[in-house]
Amino acid sequence: MSLTDRFLRYVGVDTQSDHTSDTVPSTPGQCELAQILKQELAELGIEHTCGNGVVYAHLPATGPGRGEPVGFLAHMDTAEELTGRNVRPRIIPSYDGGIIRLNDTVSMAPSEFPALSQVIGDDLIVTDGTTLLGGDDKAGVAAIMQALDEIRQEDHRELYAAFTTDEEIGRGADHFDLEQFPAAWAWTVDGDAVNQVYWETFNAACADLTVHGVAIHPGEAKGKMVNAVQIAADIAAAFPGDETPAETEGRQGFWHLTELAGTVEEAHATWIIRDHDTEKFEERKAFVQDLVSRFETKHPGCLDLRIHDQYLNMARFAPVTQNGEPEAVREAREAVAAQGLKPESVPVRGGTDGAMLSAKGLFTPNLGTGSWNHHGRYEFASVQKMETMKNIVKTLMKGRDN
């Protein structure tokens, strides 16, 4: 099976996660894809197990002296922003750099999506404009699976692989069993450009606000009504308008209102809080707490705010080395360079399972996938770049030459 065939097979399964679900994993589609991966691993003769929906694989080293045991991870779920049901991928051979028409009303062009300029001449896999594609992170799943398939016939170090669930809703590492994954370090394959080696992430938290109101007929509301949805909207409007995702870049942090809904009687609002700098991250959380407290003085007993950390900057947990660069980063940069590419490390404006695993003691930088524009209908993947990513993974799997 080719890498492209694997990828197309995987995106055909709806694995969208659901933050409102209490099950593990949160949706049955993730279990369906896990079964497919288990079947493929069995056909390859690769030892594997499954727990809480996570698929673990192990391949013993072909001999001594090839380096520390290492691991590779990718997540099976897709984002909540847009459906992953009935994905209808289309392959565009030898992309010419022009406008891509996804359907009669939806198009994308390099002027709007600059990543397209990186894949001129490549064969692209795009959506029909009604769903996301699932390159995040089924391109990563496919790259690891294809690399495992091919590396079986070559010399390699001891290898572990894991395909996780519910990464998109921040639960990817919650049920991860490190005892089944005794790697010295690992890499997630969950980025975009294949020359990137990411080992600095946001610090991340989530703020959930519930407002309790009092509903009464508007004609009799004077001095009695407490409009919960209006209060929630007023609080949302009090955040700095220039510190949102749409107004920030690089190392700039933000608050992001992801949900605002309700009625006069009850309303809910959710923000995600992000910053690379730990001190500024704490200040952002304190700002939310102080803001809600000010509104609480006007509406005592009506506001319920809960703030919880989701993950911390991976760089805080990087192993200390003499040259300042962790071994996992050095190896990854060398593997990228071996493909004739210039490795780059930039702060990730997001997070991965690796951020949470790093906090648990398994340092896990992130690599690219060869797919871009994640979480929406403009998502696309390059067949050639995915192949390059597979080759980078294989280089890391081989380890040192004896």
One domain, residues 141 and 266: no
Q: Binding residue per annotation — 308?
A: no
At 65-77, the pLDDT tens digits run 889 999 999 999 9
CATH at 336: 3.40.630.10
Q: Binding residue per annotation — 168?
A: yes
Question: Rounded CA gap, 267 and 260, in Å?
Answer: 7
At 126-154, the pLDDT tens digits run 999 999 999 999 999 999 999 999 999 99
Q: Binding residue per annotation — 190?
A: yes
Among 310, 325, 343, identify where a domain stops.
Answer: 310
One domain, residues 115 and 163: yes
Per-residue pLDDT band for 401 (boundaries 50, 70, 90) equals confident
Per-residue pLDDT band for 37 (boundaries 50, 70, 90) equals very high
Torsion, CA 151, CA 152, CA 155, CA 158, rounded to 10: 90
Total structural domains in the chain?
2
Q: Binding residue per annotation — 375?
A: yes
For the segment 313-336, the average pLDDT, to the nearest whole number, is 90
For the segment 247-274, the average pLDDT, to the nearest whole number, is 97
Residues sharing a CB contact under 8 Å with residue 80, sequence separation 6 or more, in sequence order: 16, 17, 18, 19, 168, 169
Among positive and negative, which fits the CA dihedral 73, 338, 374, 138?
A: negative
Per-residue pLDDT band for 320 (boundaries 50, 70, 90) equals confident
Is 104 annotated as catalytic? Answer: no
One domain, residues 342 and 227: no
pLDDT at position 322 is 67
CB of 213 closer than 8 Å to CB of 311: no
Per-residue pLDDT band for 63 (boundaries 50, 70, 90) equals confident
Mapped to the 3 state alphabet, what secondary structure does the chain carry? CCHHHHHHHHHCCCCECCCCCCCCCCCHHHHHHHHHHHHHHHHHCCEEEEECCEEEEEECCCCCCCCCCEEEEEECCECCCCCCCCCCCEEECCCCCCCEECCCCCEECCCCCHHHHHCCCCCEEECCCCCCCCHHHHHHHHHHHHHHHHHCCCCCCCEEEEEECCHHHCCCCCCCCHHHCCCCEEEEECCCCCCEEECCCCEEEEEEEEEECECCCHHHCCCCCECHHHHHHHHHHCCCCCCCHHHCCCCCCEEEEEEEEECCCEEEEEEEEEECCHHHHHHHHHHHHHHHHHHHHHCCCCEEEEEEEEECCHHHHCCCCCCCCCHHHHHHHHHHHCCCCCCECCCCCCCCHHHHHHHCCCCCCEECCCEECCCCCCCEEEHHHHHHHHHHHHHHHHCCCC
One domain, residues 306 and 324: no
One domain, residues 185 and 100: yes
One domain, residues 299 and 317: no
Catalytic residue, from 40, 122, 149, 167: name it.
167
Catalytic residue, from 77, 200, 331, 379: name it.
77
One domain, residues 229 and 369: no
CATH at 291: 3.30.70.360
Burial class (CB in 10 A: 0-12, 13-18, 19+), 317: buried
Q: What is the mean pLDDT of the chain?
A: 96
Is 167 annotated as catalytic? Answer: yes
Range of the domain at 301: 204-310
Relative orientation angle of helices 228-237 and 278-298, to the nearest 10 degrees: 140
